[in-house]
Amino acid sequence: MRNISQFTEKLRLSGLRPTKQRISICEALFDRNDTFHFTINDLTKILKRKVNKKISIATVYNTVHAFKNKGYLKQISINSDKSYFDTNVSEHHHFFDEDMNKLIDLENEYLDKIKIKKKIPGKKIKSVEVLVKVVNNK
C-alpha cells in the first residue's frame, strides 16, 4: 500500500499522469527485491494475473516506452524477435541463457573495466554492453 503512493509521486515528478494502469505496471515491475528481466509478453501475463481489469497491449507498450525514456527501464541487446527490458538501470552486463531464453545480470564487479582502444572518427561512445551467451553444461 505504501508503494502505491511512492509510484504516484514518481510518475507525477516525471510528468506522467499516475493512472490506474501505470500504477499497476509499476507494481508489477518495481515492487520487488531483485532486478527483473522481461519481454512485453511476460509483463502482459503478469498483469493479467495480478490486475482484475485487463490492460490493453497498446497501453503496456506505451508505458514501457515511457518508462524507458524516463530512465526507469533499460532495453537489452539480444538477437531475438522480442525486445527484452531490465528494471536494473545501473551500468552492468548480462548472461543470456539460450536454453531458457532468460537474462541474468552480470554485475560490473565480475569483469575488468573494458577499455576500447579504437576510435571511430566523429563518433563518441554512448554505451558498452557485454552479452555472455550460456548453454546447458554437457
Partner DNA sequence: TTACCTGCAAAGAGTTTGCAGGTAG
Partner DNA sequence: CTACCTGCAAACTCTTTGCAGGTAA
| 67 lies in the binding site for DNA (CB under 7 A) | no
Residue whose CB is less far from its own copies, 33 or 136: 136
Question: From the CB of 116, what's the least distance to DNA, in Å?
Answer: 27
40 closest CA partner among 11, 62, 13? 62
Q: Which residue has the cell 516506452?
A: 65
| 122 lies in the binding site for its own copies (CB under 8 A) | yes
The answer to whether the beta carbons of residues 18 and 7 sit under 8 Å apart is yes
* Sites for its own copies among residues 71-100 (CB under 8 A): 75-79, 83-84, 95, 97-98
Q: What sign results for the dihedral spanned by CA atoms 36, 84, 22, 20?
A: negative
| 20 lies in the binding site for DNA (CB under 7 A) | yes
| Sole binder of DNA in the list 45, 54, 102, 133 (CB under 7 A) | 54
Distance CA 72, CA 8 (A): 14
| 16 lies in the binding site for DNA (CB under 7 A) | yes
What count of other Cβ atoms lies within 10 Å of the Cβ of residue 77?
A: 12
Q: Which residues of this protein are in contact with DNA, per CB under 7 A?
A: 12, 16-22, 39-41, 53-59, 61-63, 65, 81-83
